[in-house]
């Protein structure tokens, strides 16, 4: 996977043009990429200019298809077009973020059924809603998705205010250090998304 991506970058350098590679990413994967990836690219391709563009998963996929970016790092789901090349990187399980005073906050693993009747907060964009919706339908669960927000701090704010339990991918919580919040793995069943390097078949013009 990495060798294929590096070969493409080498071709961009050799082809001349503006010598720029554009990488789209969903915000949650930044902990996977920074600071190692920029340093690695700078060492391997000192003449290459690298741009990073943060997008929702759906917007990133659209930019790949239109040729606005060269690579994307995001989540695989059933909505992706068939013409994308996908190179899986890792699994990213969905977790619940709860207030420390929540009766469920003391357990590291949380069955979905215990969230029945609770107010749930999720992101309004991206693929988490689709994943959770498919799970609810297949498992015949009853979840009250009351809050749909755009930003992570709003999501955490709802939990801090004890208005909701947040459901989100674990990578978002990598640097979470709020003593009022607790993270629990959602299980029975476990639900994960696959984070992958993506490449559109239509190349950006240089």
Give the pLDDT confidence score for residue 6 in this predicted structure. Answer: 59
Quick check: 25 and 69 in contact, CB under 8 A? no
Give the pLDDT confidence score for residue 12 in this predicted structure. Answer: 60
Helix axes 2-15, 36-44, angle to 10 degrees: 50
pTM of the model: 0.83
Give the pLDDT confidence score for residue 202 in this predicted structure. Answer: 53
Measured in whole angstroms, the distance separating CA 145 from the mean position of its chain's CA atoms is 19
- Which comes out higher in pLDDT, residue 137 or 13? 137
Residue 90: strand pairing partners = 195
Of the ranges 42-51, 115-124, 189-198, which one carries the lowest mean pLDDT score? 42-51
Rg (CA), the chain: 19
pLDDT digits (tens, 9 = 90+) for 70-126: 899 999 987 888 888 888 889 999 999 999 999 999 889 999 999 998 999 999 987
pLDDT tops 70 at residue 132: yes
26 sits in which H/E element: none
């Amino acid at each position: 996977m990495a060798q294929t991506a590096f070969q493409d970058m080498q071709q961009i350098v050799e082809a001349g043009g503006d010598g720029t590679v554009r990488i789209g990413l969903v915000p949650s994967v930044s902990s996977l990429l920074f600071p190692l990836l920029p340093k690695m690219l700078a060492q391997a391709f000192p003449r290459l200019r690298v741009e990073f563009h943060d997008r929702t998963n759906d917007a990133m996929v659209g930019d790949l298809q239109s040729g606005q970016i060269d690579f994307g790092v995001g989540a695989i789901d059933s909505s992706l077009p068939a013409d994308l090349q996908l190179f899986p990187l890792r699994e990213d399980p969905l977790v619940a973020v709860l207030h420390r005073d929540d009766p469920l906050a003391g357990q590291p693993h949380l069955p979905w059924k215990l969230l029945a009747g609770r107010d749930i907060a999720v992101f309004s964009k991206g693929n988490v809603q689709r994943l959770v919706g498919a799970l609810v339908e297949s498992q015949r669960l009853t979840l009250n998705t009351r809050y749909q927000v755009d930003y992570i701090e709003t999501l955490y704010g709802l939990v801090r205010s004890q208005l909701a339990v947040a459901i989100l991918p674990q990578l978002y919580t990598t640097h979470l250090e709020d003593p009022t919040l607790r993270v629990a793995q959602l299980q029975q069943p476990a639900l994960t998304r696959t984070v992958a390097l993506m490449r559109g078949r239509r190349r950006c013009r240089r």
